[in-house]
Structure 1
Amino acid sequence: MKNRIVIQILMFFLSLFLLFILVGCMQNEDIKSDTVPWGQEFVGYDTRVAENKVKIAVVDSGIDSNHPDLTGKVKQSYNALTQSNIIKDEIGHGTSVAGIITANYDGKGIVGVSQNVELIDVKVLDETGKSQIDNVIAGLEWVLEQNPDVINISFGFDKDFAPLRDIINRISEKDITILAAAGNNIGRQIQYPAEYDNVISVGSLNEKKKEDILNPTGDIDILAPGINIYTTALNEDYHTVRGSSFATAYISGILANAITNSGVSKHDSLKNKINYLQDTLEYR
């Protein structure tokens, strides 16, 4: 008799335990479980989506639009190397940049800085990560016709090319914000087009708000997370990256949120945009 009572008591508590687990699982189904990298925590991220999305052109190595965290993000594409809309990102650089800006908030993978973004994918870098200046110019000429809100250029040249300066000037005249990586050139000058006055140059910092030793010398407009950055990679994967390329992507995401929430207007002066960024990031 005693044994039967003990068994009944044990069965009762076992049933409660199983019910507790079941309820917990049901509750967790609705919880967003995206990994939030330190950079997103640092700059702030917004999961809201507005009626009018911010158009950001990522001029880079291409974007793997089939990555689960980038599904539905790329709305337009242009391959300046082949003059077509067929793009393959062989090196993953553009894919990593895109993930920082706007990786999907879907309960998996990571979350990007802004959800209110439409990406324009412009491939100008080849399978080695390099590009001819003519391809960059062609890509930027095409981008100008699409009239984006922001252009993200996460690479640069050591030399000032007159045709590059010309297209940057024409883009700037349309109130399109151009962001460019300052470079990872320790002891050297800021690369072009980041060095131009009508471009916002971006350098990187670490989790302790210390400037990256790889940043070039010179007057960099803004610093953003660029060390130990976890983001999207090729083959539906994720990896950790470093450099001003990825810091630039953070600034693109911040500007997207600012435009969405009326913190800044596309037509604000470059100085006002830089002041907004500095006020936002100095330094959380």
Structure 2
Amino acid sequence: MNMTTNALPNQFSWNSYKVTNGYRLYDLQVGSPLIKIAVIDSGYDPNHSEITGNIDKKKSCSFVDYENFNEDLYGHGTAVISVIVGKNQVKGVAPGITIISYKVLDRNGFGKIEWVIHAILKAIEDCVHIINLSHVFTMFGLGNKGAFNKLQQAIDKARKKGIIIVGAAGNQGVLLDMKSTSLYPTIKGINYVTSTNKNNYTSSYANIGSIIRFAAPSGELDETNNVTDLIIVAHPTNFPKTKFEKAIGLPDFYTVTCGTSISAAMFSSLIALVLTEYLICKQIHLSEKEILNIIQKNSSRVKDQNSIFEINAYSVIKFIKGLL
């Protein structure tokens, strides 16, 4: 693998640097704590400094019946949350907003579709603004038609309440329009987000298709094996540090990764910033369609996918503030 022993953590924040225009976004908007994102995932690390100040611990809960505590034993949830609200090594896109964590993945990354449904319904009760589903639904066995229909009903209910739902497009490198490879053939109402690399091309592993409108830069893992194409995220503080993490100079309690889970989290963050600008600052209620159109208008087309737009949070907020 192409790496050096003196690689610094900020080398792995290139994606945040890109969408925030060199972190200039933070001078314009960081998000309001009144805006709440539901992260339906594997829980969170209550001891990690990157995220603890943004978690609504009273409302956060677990739906894993044999792990009825919300601590993240898998690592995915902590990573996703850090991409949204990180303030130190991880440069979150919306570090001022509030996170409610709903645990639906156990220590092995296993989950049930029923747990996701319960989490969505709880998120509705908790009056969240955005639901982030960065896990891939194939984990939950969508062959269960009854559960599948109930999931659609829960999503429909959330959207009727004005909640915007964001999901990861998946990392299988397939065209989702093909029936043989479609992972989400009939789930409607989710904004699926795919991944781009440093050069504004879709990542080699990223799923694409007509159901995908947006992308966010979240790393590459191809034949070049260039470690600096990866993204830094928070790692649970009780996870041992690997030889690889030591070799590339990462601080304790961090790792590097890539994937559409990161992209979905970045997109949820941007929506939170837009809601902060309109709902909190201007007291204007926009429809989901209006929000997505504003984001698209201030995004750039992915070089190899003309119908997919890579987000630029700085441009979006600058446009809303009338600075463009």
**Aligned-pair CA distance for 1:216:** 2.1
1:176-195 mapped onto 2 (5 Å cutoff): 176-189=163-176, 191-192=183-184
CA distance in 2, matches of 1:59, 1:266: 27
**Aligned-pair CA distance for 1:217:** 3.8
The corresponding residue for 1:5 is none
The corresponding residue for 1:19 is none
Over 3 Å counting, the alpha-carbon distance change for 1:40 and 1:208 in structure 2 is same
Amino acid at match of 1:222: F
Please list the CA deviations of residues 98-153 of structure 1 after superposition, one character each: whole Å capped at 9, or x if unmatched.
1110013xxx4333111221100100011111211111111111111101011100
**Bigger relative contact order, structure 1 or 2 (CA pairs below 8 A, ≥6 apart):** 2
Percent identical among aligned pairs is 29
Structure 1: give runs of 5+ residues left out of the alignment: 1-33
Counterpart secondary structure, 2:99? strand
CA distance in 2, matches of 1:267, 1:200: 19
Counterpart secondary structure, 2:53? coil
The corresponding residue for 2:262 is 246
CA distance in 2, matches of 1:252, 1:265: 20
Please list the CA deviations of residues 146-189 of structure 1 after superposition, one character each: whole Å capped at 9, or x if unmatched.
01011100023243711111100000000001000111122252
Say if 2:146 is the partner of 1:163: no
Contact (CA 8 Å) 1:177, 1:266: kept in 2 or not? no
**Aligned-pair CA distance for 1:268:** 2.7
CA distance in 1, matches of 2:52, 2:127: 23
Please list the CA deviations of residues 46-87 of structure 1 after superposition, one character each: whole Å capped at 9, or x if unmatched.
265666531011000011131011121111311011399721
Aligned partner (choices 77, 88, 106) of residue 60 of structure 2: 77
Contact (CA 8 Å) 1:176, 1:266: kept in 2 or not? no
Counterpart secondary structure, 2:47? coil
Amino acid at match of 1:124: V
Bigger-Rg structure (1/2): 1
Amino acid at match of 2:52: T
Contact (CA 8 Å) 1:152, 1:179: kept in 2 or not? yes
Contact (CA 8 Å) 2:46, 2:71: kept in 1 or not? no
Amino acid at match of 2:77: G
Contact (CA 8 Å) 1:102, 1:112: kept in 2 or not? yes
Q: State how many pairs are aligned.
A: 247
**Aligned-pair CA distance for 1:201:** 0.9
The corresponding residue for 1:62 is 43
Say if 2:213 is the partner of 1:226: no
CA distance in 1, matches of 2:126, 2:294: 25
CA distance in 2, matches of 1:221, 1:154: 16
The corresponding residue for 2:92 is 112
- CA RMSD after TM alignment: 2.6
Over 3 Å counting, the alpha-carbon distance change for 1:50 and 1:164 in structure 2 is closer
CA distance in 1, matches of 2:67, 2:106: 14
Structure 2: give runs of 5+ residues left out of the alignment: 1-8, 177-181, 220-229, 238-251, 301-309, 313-324
- 4+ residue segments displaced more than 4 Å: 47-52, 263-267
The corresponding residue for 2:271 is 255
